[in-house]
């Protein structure tokens, strides 16, 4: 038996034969051509076909993993329209008289290097996306078969690394699990793996070509893979795998039941979504409402700013479909790791602390008003909450509310019907936590964005893989901030929820309940497991060991 260890992306077990995937090698000579015209034509046809492939992958990814995870393929498709990149490739063909293959390899490598040399870790990580797109164009030019990487039988796929496009191309019905030698838990491939509910092990340095075709068990709970395991291990982990399958079936029986603890405490369990296309997953998993509609994906999915009417239709569809359930829509949170070409945002040395979210909206008033008018119009069709992100002061909240009131007056004068949405803010900075009492007097609710709150509190960039050994999602300071926010909100009759990743962390569910949290909003697939956990808790009894440990942080 051989044992490989790494970092687990998803708790779960995969049992089956290993299939080693060898990425195509691109051995391209620097030979010259007499006539560059045919090569320019070959490149253009390959570029268009690659763009069609990326758009098709986007649609497939939306169905398999949701809008948030699929967004990378929109970025890929847009990259193939980049003038600088295309001019560079065409220049290598036309001026230097190289083949289309050589020009693509060189042109995309140059752009990837440019990203790699940027100061921002997010943009550094995008260098792999540039190479991924370039390889797609090369595969077309070289006639490489990229559809048969899995083979015909169900398998645990093993590779040096997998690009997002590789991951989405996989036939999920034949994919038992994935193992890679490289990779980051914050990469797009890892995000896709979680969304596809596929057990995945990354940074497994023991991978060996001799594993190909051998029987193995990927144990996501213990972050390892057993190649040709002993019979005892097979029996134990098969039983665990079967237990997981039974749990999934039992979870479905929780649909329609209340999120009430054994002693009678009820808490709301909502879902996070990226757009109207995610409504089906919300309904399938029986969420009570939407705790976070990331409205920026309405913008990211467009080549130009969406009109007020286009935004209205997107918001109306969600609010109307889910009525009378509450739908909390976060106003545009562009900036940091979410950029849009048509917004012409300047390059920043530290965009996570820069011009983003509410800071953009308050300084581009017309842009902000188009969204707020669309939201107010859509509020007439259901139960809506409007939530402002990245708030650090009372001044910002008041200014945003004044612009909202101005929009309401305009619409009233136009005889447009509106609802009366609740107003809330994201609490995702230490500044907002420390001003929570004053902020709570201005709004109806708080929603704790624990991803950014953890990043800003611990000074650890959440997308930098090198910092993973230093990251602690259960950091005492973050848990204290959550409790401070809940207490401040309740002192001023302001309900408090969590919409970050910690909301789905079952190790903290009892702790959050004992802190007094009112609502938890998670990805749709986490709704039923969270509901099960809530219904197993008895707050009238002494707290569990794990809850005691976390509650001790608050003393």
Closest CA to 502 of 452, 461, 464: 452
CA distances from 309 to 4, 89, 370, 378 (A): 54, 39, 9, 10
If one counts every other C-beta atom within 10 angstroms of the C-beta of residue 340, the result is: 18
CA distances from 267 to 2, 260, 297, 501 (A): 46, 7, 28, 17
Active site residue 332: no
Q: How many helices (H) and strands (E) does the chain have?
A: 22, 16
Burial of 401 (0-12, 13-18, 19+ CB in 10 A): middle
Across 381-506, where does the E strand assignment appear?
383-388, 422-427, 445-448, 495-498
Active site residue 499: yes
* Rounded distance between C-alpha atoms, residue 34 and residue 36, angstroms: 7
Q: Choosing from 188, 204, 332, 361, which is the catalytic residue?
A: 188
CB 513, CB 505: distance < 8 Å:
no
CB 78, CB 51: distance < 8 Å:
no
The strands making up 224-227's β-sheet, listed across from edge to edge, are 2-5, 224-227, 215-219, 13-20, 155-159, 175-180, 200-202, 7-8
Pinpoint the alpha helices (H) of 417-537.
430-434, 436-440, 450-458, 476-491, 509-515, 527-535
Helix (H, G, I), strand (E, B) or coil at 53: helix
CB 8, CB 207: distance < 8 Å:
no
* Rounded distance between C-alpha atoms, residue 47 and residue 50, angstroms: 5
CB 470, CB 460: distance < 8 Å:
yes
Burial of 119 (0-12, 13-18, 19+ CB in 10 A): exposed
The residues pairing with 219 across neighbouring beta strands, listed in sequence order, are: 13, 224
Q: Any long-range contacts for 338-346 (C-beta under 8 Å, 24+ apart)?
A: 338/296, 338/300, 340/299, 340/300, 341/78, 342/303, 342/304, 342/305, 343/305
Q: Choosing from 136, 407, 494, 499, which is the catalytic residue?
A: 499
CB 424, CB 436: distance < 8 Å:
no
The residues pairing with 15 across neighbouring beta strands, listed in sequence order, are: 217
Per-residue b or e along 93-102, where b marks 16 or more CB atoms closer than 10 Å to that residue's CB:
beeeebbbbb
Burial of 129 (0-12, 13-18, 19+ CB in 10 A): buried
Q: Catalytic amino acids?
A: 188, 499
């Amino acid at each position: 038996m051989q044992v490989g260890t790494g970092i687990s992306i998803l708790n779960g077990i995969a049992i089956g034969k290993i299939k080693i995937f060898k990425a195509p090698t691109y051995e391209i000579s620097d030979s010259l051509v007499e006539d560059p015209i045919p090569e320019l034509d070959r490149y253009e046809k390959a570029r268009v076909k690659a763009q069609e492939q990326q758009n098709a992958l986007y649609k497939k990814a939306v169905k398999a993993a949701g809008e948030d995870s699929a967004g990378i393929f929109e970025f890929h498709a847009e990259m193939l329209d980049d003038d600088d990149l295309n001019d560079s490739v065409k220049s290598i063909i036309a001026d230097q008289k190289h083949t289309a293959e050589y020009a693509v390899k060189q042109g995309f490598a140059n752009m990837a290097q440019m990203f790699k040399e940027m100061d921002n870790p997010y943009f550094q990580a995008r260098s792999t996306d540039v190479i991924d797109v370039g390889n797609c164009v090369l595969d077309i030019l070289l006639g490489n078969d990229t559809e048969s990487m899995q083979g015909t039988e169900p398998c645990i796929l093993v590779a040096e690394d997998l690009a997002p496009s590789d991951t989405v191309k996989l036939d999920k019905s034949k994919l038992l699990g994935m193992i890679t030698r490289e990779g980051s838990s914050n990469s797009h491939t890892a995000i896709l793996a979680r969304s596809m509910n596929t057990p995945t092990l990354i940074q497994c340095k023991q991978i060996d070509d001799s594993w190909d075709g051998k029987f193995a068990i990927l144990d996501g709970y213990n972050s390892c893979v057993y190649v040709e395991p002993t019979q005892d291990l097979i029996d134990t982990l098969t039983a665990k795998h079967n237990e997981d399958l039974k749990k999934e079936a039992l979870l479905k029986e929780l649909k329609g039941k209340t999120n009430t603890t054994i002693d009678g405490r009820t808490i709301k369990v909502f879902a996070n979504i990226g757009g109207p296309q995610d409504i089906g997953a919300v309904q399938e998993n029986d969420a009570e409402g939407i705790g976070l509609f990331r409205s920026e994906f309405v913008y990211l999915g467009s080549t130009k700013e969406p009109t007020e009417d286009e935004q209205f239709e997107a918001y109306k569809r969600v609010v109307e479909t889910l009525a009378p359930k509450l739908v909390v829509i976060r106003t545009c949170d562009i900036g940091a790791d979410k950029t849009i070409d048509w917004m012409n945002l300047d390059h920043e040395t530290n965009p996570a602390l820069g011009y983003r979210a509410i800071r953009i909206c308050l300084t581009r008033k017309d842009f902000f008003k188009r969204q707020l008018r669309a939201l107010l119009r859509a509020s007439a069709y259901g139960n809506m909450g409007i939530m402002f992100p990245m708030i650090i002061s009372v001044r910002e909240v008041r200014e945003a509310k004044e612009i909202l009131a101005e929009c309401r007056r305009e619409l009233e004068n136009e005889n447009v019907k509106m609802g009366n949405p609740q107003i809330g803010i994201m609490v995702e900075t230490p500044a907002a936590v420390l001003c929570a009492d004053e902020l709570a007097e201005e709004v109806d609710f708080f929603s704790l964005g624990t991803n950014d709150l953890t990043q800003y509190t611990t000074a650890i960039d959440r997308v930098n893989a090198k910092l993973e050994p230093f990251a602690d999602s259960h950091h005492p300071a973050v848990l204290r901030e959550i409790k401070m926010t809940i207490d401040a909100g309740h002192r001023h009759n302001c309900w408090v929820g969590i919409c970050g990743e910690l909301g789905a962390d079952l190790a903290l569910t009892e702790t959050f309940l004992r802190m007094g949290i009112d609502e938890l909003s998670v990805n749709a697939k986490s709704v039923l497991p969270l509901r099960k956990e809530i219904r197993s808790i008895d707050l009238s009894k002494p707290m569990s060991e794990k809850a005691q440990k976390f509650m001790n942080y608050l003393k």
